[in-house]
Amino acid sequence: MNSPEALSLEQLPSPEVPDNLPRLIRYYDDFHDKVRSISHLSETDIWYVHADGTKHNLNFLRFPLRYRLLFKHIVTDLFDRCDPSTVVTYANLLFTRPSHLARAATLSPTEWSEYWNEFVLPVETVSVAGALRSAIHSMCELSIGQWTMDLHDLVSALRAPRADIYKTVRNRECFVPLDQQSLIIEFFDDLKAAIDRGSTSIGDLELRNACILLLSHQYGLRPGSIARIKVQDVRLHESGAVHVSVPLIKLRDRDALRRVTRRIKHEWAALFVEFLRRQGSKHADSTSPADSLFHLSPASVSHVIIDLTSELLGEAWTPTDLRHTAAQRLADAGASHISLSEFLGHASTLTANVYFDASPSQAERVNQALSLSPIYTTIAETAKTKTITSTELRALPPSQQIGAVPHGIPIAGIGGCTIGQSLCAKNPVLSCYTCRRFLPVADRSVHENVVDSLRPVVRMFANASHETGSGSQAQLTRTLRAAMQVIHGIPSDAAESMGEANE
């Protein structure tokens, strides 16, 4: 059998395709909440489809006339079975592999099975294979070529390419490191503090982007769900609580769109209150619905999250990364399969298994909390703050020299603060290492003493509870990780050279 590239579409035999296309296609655009239509299907060779806030075009002119009708029939049938965004995705994948469909239309089912095993299974991605299988189901529905209704089972039985879609979860590559999560939390805390002070330095776009990142970080919401939140979906309560009704997407039944209510963390609810007060529609995207909360398409929401994490963390993280991280955080904290599935909006609890498989044992949790495990400890490339000498530290005003007695352990001389402890709303020492305003002293031994002193306290918390992601223990764990980051960022001979300079 010749390879798909050996013959062009013009060289392949003409497929047997019904002449009669429907007069028009109607589909529901759930992003704009309206029914749309595509008319004159036979005469029009460029179809415009609205999906996820974007206007896409499906160009059939790229195919020879005798195959154009085949592709139109398949796309028309896909609209009967899939939502418009899936139709666009499948069509674009199929349009880049036209020879596969051309072969399917002219080969017998037995020959096609051989073709699949030889030219599809070894080389194509899971996405392309899925789109192609769905297209063959359409051929069965439409009785195109030798495909008939009783062959659906044969098509379903075609093997899919091997792929571990949760590979990055299993090897933990997609999880945002704990020290970087601390920077995200600090960003929200700083914005909330600025709002409480009545600061006017926070721009509307900065506030909007922070609310988007908050939803992604706290609840792992998909960009499609975030983009579909409307102003009336956010409820403000007299107690100060903020509840958001979120539409779930990517459900198996496309008609089963349902909503879940998520409660914004109390400490950060002020961000949403302030955003609504400012009526964030000032920067509305003209293509978004008038009552949209953020006035962005799902693609734009993704860009906001990627750009903001890159700015805050020095490394870009995708909404999918934040979603996996939020799910793993919950699994590590001891959530049940049902709770985690509900958190992710999954209809089945089976998908949650991957997070429990990746969750460390209690012993590993303790090592992770102590920053001892080589597997679960993440050290950044360098400290994100510059260091200062002990002479420079002593020259700082007393309020900018950090010192305290956390958990009964006197700690001083670890560094300075650019704003001063008296103006800091956080717990000093325990928060300094994770703060961008911290100026650590360039002496590894000082920070090593901090780590050695705090580890017994962390071990006490870890041994007393199976949960490692909340309260004082979580704060101490973040401090240990950040302190280790500072230690690794200071050259081993820094203390010696600093001592010589002081002499």
If phi > 0 it is left, if psi is from -120 to 50 it is alpha, else beta; for residue 262 that is: beta
Residues 189 and 289 in one domain: yes
Q: Which of 455, 444, 499 is nearest to 477 (CA)?
A: 455
Establish if 384 belongs to a structural domain: no
Residues 186 and 280 in one domain: yes
Residues 310 and 408 in one domain: no
> What is the extent of the structural domain holding 454?
390-502
User: How far is the C-alpha of 73 from the C-alpha of 42, rounded, in Å?
Assistant: 10
What pLDDT score does 8 carry? 60
Residues 69 and 90 in one domain: yes
Residues 222 and 337 in one domain: yes
User: How far is the C-alpha of 444 from the C-alpha of 494, rounded, in Å?
Assistant: 8
Residues 29 and 172 in one domain: no
Establish if 379 belongs to a structural domain: no
Establish if 32 belongs to a structural domain: yes
Residues 139 and 215 in one domain: no
What pLDDT score does 401 carry? 82
* Each residue's pLDDT tens digit, 93-119: 999 988 898 889 989 999 999 999 999
Residues 196 and 94 in one domain: no
User: How far is the C-alpha of 443 from the C-alpha of 488, rounded, in Å?
Assistant: 11
User: How far is the C-alpha of 385 from the C-alpha of 414, rounded, in Å?
Assistant: 13
Question: What stretches in the chain show pLDDT beneath 50?
Answer: 5-7, 252-255, 281, 362, 372-385, 466-470, 494-503
Residues 190 and 138 in one domain: no
Does the model's pTM come out above 0.75? no
What pLDDT score does 124 carry? 93
Burial label for 179, CB within 10 Å (0-12, 13-18, 19+), is buried
* Each residue's pLDDT tens digit, 271-285: 999 999 987 545 555
Q: How many domains does the chain have?
A: 3
Residues 14 and 142 in one domain: yes
Establish if 67 belongs to a structural domain: yes
* Each residue's pLDDT tens digit, 283-315: 555 577 888 999 999 999 999 999 999 999 999
Establish if 28 belongs to a structural domain: yes
Establish if 252 belongs to a structural domain: yes
Count CB atoms within 10 A of the CB of residue 69. Answer: 19
What pLDDT score does 333 carry? 75
Q: What is the CATH number of the domain that holds 186?
A: 1.10.443.10
User: How far is the C-alpha of 294 from the C-alpha of 280, rounded, in Å?
Assistant: 7
Residues 216 and 173 in one domain: yes
What spatial distance separates the first Cα and last Cα of the chain, rounded to whole Å?
Answer: 83
Residues 61 and 137 in one domain: yes
